[in-house]
Amino acid sequence: MRAGLRSGVGEPVDSPRRDAGAAGAAPSAAATPDSAAAEGVAGESRIPMAAAVVAAMALTVLMPDSVRAGPNWMLPVIEAGLLAALIAGDPGRIDRRSRRLRTLSIALVSVLVVGALWATGQLVDALIHGGAETNSATELLEAGTLVWLSNLIAFALLYWELDGGGPAARAVRRPAHPDLAFPQQLNPEIAPADWRPGFIDYLYLAFSNGTAFSPTDVMPLVAWAKITMAAQALISIAILGLVIARAVNVFA
């Protein structure tokens, strides 16, 4: 009797004699699947995530110099390099589990989050103490929109990267206790049996949290998720409230 398939390859094990000798033995580390493909599960496409990173790079270039961290090329070059390394290491669908790839992905998200938070701090400081953009309602609204959208993408990628151990881990297994509970997880009958959240779901989560300033359809169940959603809501309130108030004052 054959023991089954090799992990991630789909070929039978060499011989029955070898199988018989291995009967009753514990599974080796080499036999453990390191990709979603090994379990016959298709990982999510990298295109939405990559498009969001490219959009964040464009937003950074368009930001005023006074709120951007460094020259307009610095952060986009770093982000482009990290994204290229990710795509080269796991092209197509995100279905390969690797500590190196996980580190690269976390580094990319960290750069985006730091850049967005820096821009937020500089914009708020300019609104409170005065700055070049605060004297023109048009420039102020443009700067506020760019910073708000940068935060939206950064937090969407942060939720996407941290929930359930990341996209590759979610493709391999469905966590028994999710960090972020989507409606499809709370009510499995409304979704396909193999449903898993993708980047668009996390982008909508970031958008709804950044506009409603509180959870809507997705519930944070663990500490990091609650803290992160609260931080995004506070940042969104600060940007929208101060920018709109200042713009109205300039118009008046």
* Residue 107: predicted pLDDT: 97
Q: What does the pLDDT average to over 238-248?
A: 85
99 pLDDT more than 80: yes
29 pLDDT more than 80: no
116, amino acid identity: A
Nearest to 151 by CA among 104, 198, 206: 206
CB 140 within 8 A of CB 133: yes
- Give the burial class of 251: count Cβ atoms within 10 A of its Cβ; 0-12 exposed, 13-18 middle, 19 or more buried: exposed
pLDDT tier for residue 34 given thresholds of 50, 70 and 90:
low
Domain limits, the chain: 40-251
pLDDT tier for residue 251 given thresholds of 50, 70 and 90:
low
Pairing outcome for strands 180-181 and 219-220: antiparallel
Instruction: Note the pTM of the prediction, 2 decimals.
Output: 0.81
pLDDT digits (tens, 9 = 90+) for 191-210: 888 889 999 999 999 999 99
* Residue 21: predicted pLDDT: 42
Lowest model confidence (mean pLDDT) among 75-79, 87-91, 109-113 = 87-91
* Rounded-to-integer distance, Cα 127 and Cα 234, Å: 16
Two tokens, residue 69: 């961290």
Q: What is the DSSP letter of 27?
A: P
Q: What does the pLDDT average to over 36-44?
A: 61
